[in-house]
Amino acid sequence: MKFSRSWPLVIGLALMVHTPCRAGAQLGGLRQKAAEAKKKLDEAAARKSADSATKAKAAADSAAKLKSADPAKAAPGGTAASAPAAAPVAAQGDPKVWENYDFVPGSKVLFFTDFSEDRVGNFARGLKYVMGPAEVIERDGVKMLRATGRAAMLIPVGRPLPARFTLEIDILSTTPLVNLQLAFEGGPNLDRGDQSAEITWSPSSAFIIGGGQNAGTSTQSVTKEVQAQYIGRVTHVRVLMDSAYFKMYANERRIYNIPELQFRRAPEVRMLLTGTEENPTFITGIRVAESETDVMYDALLAKGRWATHGILFATGKADLQPESRAVLKEIAATMKKYGDLKLLIEGHTDNVGSAASNLALSDARAAAVKAALVADYAVDGARLSTKGFGDTKPSVPNETATGRAQNRRVELVKQ
């Protein structure tokens, strides 16, 4: 651009020269400079084209990884790592495993912790201690809560659980031989009555006591092959409740699908962990969220935008996790039903890290969502645009772990 601004001045000086040889020499010099300038412009254009191709490939790669991503790197809220371990073997490279996975995390975060702000050696400050040996430790660079015996604690929700909510607990088991590794029930006390179900999970089995269920008829046993996939890896135990309807998942497998289960809607959830000194049990993350009743298209019509926490990414990356399929399917189905709908896909982060890195990450994640919708769900790319906002548009203050989890999201905006 410098060359184009100086061109008239150079031509004027050349015309003022009367000596033919000097004029010819200057014109020759001008031709050489013009050629050099053109070469620089061509090189710049080539670099820009290469950069664009690289970004497009990165987005496509992120979409492709949806089919084989490591779910152990996905966490509630979609950004924080919850596991240093590998993914379950069955989930790697096999998208069909996730075809019937229909869990969608609640969109309004009521409680969240990944223990990253806790001090090693202390009990987790976000939870309320009840009894037993439990403390925060650091394992492979990740903070987590370790139980070396029977330890009970309360997850403080802050208000009675709503009719529609999701509960996500990420647990790392070191052996299938310890029973009752994880149990949870609404309310501060062990009840197991007609109106209060306690749900228990371990790598070898799951069962429910109370709320109209008993251990004898509700037990779901796990094969040795599946048990092996749980040990030494983070298992994502996820619960979805819609009034009395209860669903529960361990990684990609749905364990329960019960139309009526009485789970007490209290301001806290009682959680029991069981481990031993030789084989501890670890918790790497907990998330409780309200499931809002907004239908995507209705929300777009009424508010012009729709936010989701159900699109998950690997920590610090734009790699989509396979758990995102349920939400991506919903977006694709809505766009196919309403052929004139055009959307802007917005990426948003919390304020952890630099503003520049958050902005770049959110932009790449929005692009990855578009790439997945186009490549895997046949959505017309011309109807989708993307933009990353980093941490510039928080939905709530970033002052707590719960607030930061709420701000890590993808939003769709009607165009």
Q: Which of 44-48, 200-204, 221-225, 226-230 has the lowest mean pLDDT?
A: 44-48
Average pLDDT over residues 81-90: 34
Nearest to 192 by CA among 175, 212, 209, 170: 209
| Mean per-residue pLDDT, 363-381 | 95
pLDDT band at 250 (very low <50, low <70, confident <90, very high): very high
The confidence score (pLDDT) of residue 232 equals 93
Same domain, 201 and 318: no
Identify the CATH number of the domain in which residue 170 sits.
Answer: 2.60.120.560
Q: Which H, E and C letters describe 284-341, residue by residue?
A: EEEEEEECCCCCHHHHHHHHCEEEECCCCECCCCCCECHHHHHHHHHHHHHHHHCCCC
Expressed in angstroms, the distance from the first to the final Cα of the chain is 35
Tens-digit pLDDT profile for residues 19-74 = 444 444 444 454 555 455 545 545 544 444 444 444 444 544 544 444 333 333 34
Supply the pLDDT for residue 91.
Answer: 42
Residue 248 belongs to some domain of the structure: yes
The tokens of 187 are what? Answer: 């309310």
Is the per-residue pLDDT at 139 higher than 70? yes
d(CA 275, CA 183): 12
Instruction: Please indicate, yes or no, whether residues 89 and 222 belong to a single structural domain of this protein.
Output: yes
Is there a contact between 323 and 103 (Cβ–Cβ < 8 Å)? yes
Q: Are residues 322 and 224 in the same domain?
A: no
* Range in 81-95, 131-145, 252-266, 326-340 the model is least confident about: 81-95
Helical axes 2-16 vs 20-64, angle rounded to 10°:
170
Considering only CA atoms, which of 374, 318, 383 is closest in space to residue 344? 383
**pLDDT at position 179:** 80
pLDDT at 98: 76
Q: How many domains does the chain have?
A: 2
Enumerate the H helices of 118-218 as residue ranges: 215-218
Same domain for 130 and 167?
A: yes
DSSP 400: S
User: pLDDT per residue over 272-296, tens digit each?
Assistant: 999 999 999 999 999 999 998 778 9
CA distance 186 to 38: 71
Same domain, 220 and 362: no
To which H or E segment does residue 345 belong?
strand 343-348
Angle at 62 between CA 57 and CA 67, to 5 degrees: 125
Strands (E) across 97-204 are located at 108-113, 128-131, 134-139, 142-147, 150-156, 164-173, 182-186, 198-201
**What CATH number is attached to the domain comprising 410?**
3.30.1330.60
Higher model confidence: residue 35 or residue 364?
364
Interatomic CA distance for residues 288 and 161, integer angstroms: 9
- 299 and 272 share a domain? no
Residues 334, 391: one domain? yes
Domain end residue (candidates: 261, 290, 319): 290
pLDDT band at 373 (very low <50, low <70, confident <90, very high): very high
- Looking at the structure, do residues 100 and 132 belong to the same domain, yes or no? yes
- Model pTM score: 0.76
Please check the confidence at residue 389 and state whether its pLDDT lies above 60.
yes
Could you give the maximum distance between any two Cα atoms of the chain, in Å? 108
- What is the DSSP code (8-state) at residue 189? S
What domain range includes position 335? 294-414
Same domain, yes or no: 281 and 301: no
- Examine the domain organization and report whether 305 and 268 are in the same domain: no
Q: Which of 394, 398, 379 is nearest to 333 (CA)?
A: 379
Mean pLDDT in residue range 329-338: 94
Ramachandran angles phi, psi of 323, nearest 5°: -65, -15
Q: Are 381 and 405 within one domain? A: yes
Over range 345-371, report the average pLDDT.
95
Is the pLDDT at 168 greater than 50? The verdict is yes
Percent of the chain residues topping a pLDDT of 90: 69
Is the per-residue pLDDT at 78 higher than 60? no
| Mean predicted lDDT score pLDDT of the chain | 82
73 vs 245, higher pLDDT: 245
Both 347 and 395 in a single domain? yes
Per-residue model confidence (pLDDT) at position 43: 52
Say what the pLDDT of residue 8 is: 39
Q: What is the pLDDT of residue 211?
A: 96
Name 213's bridge partners.
210
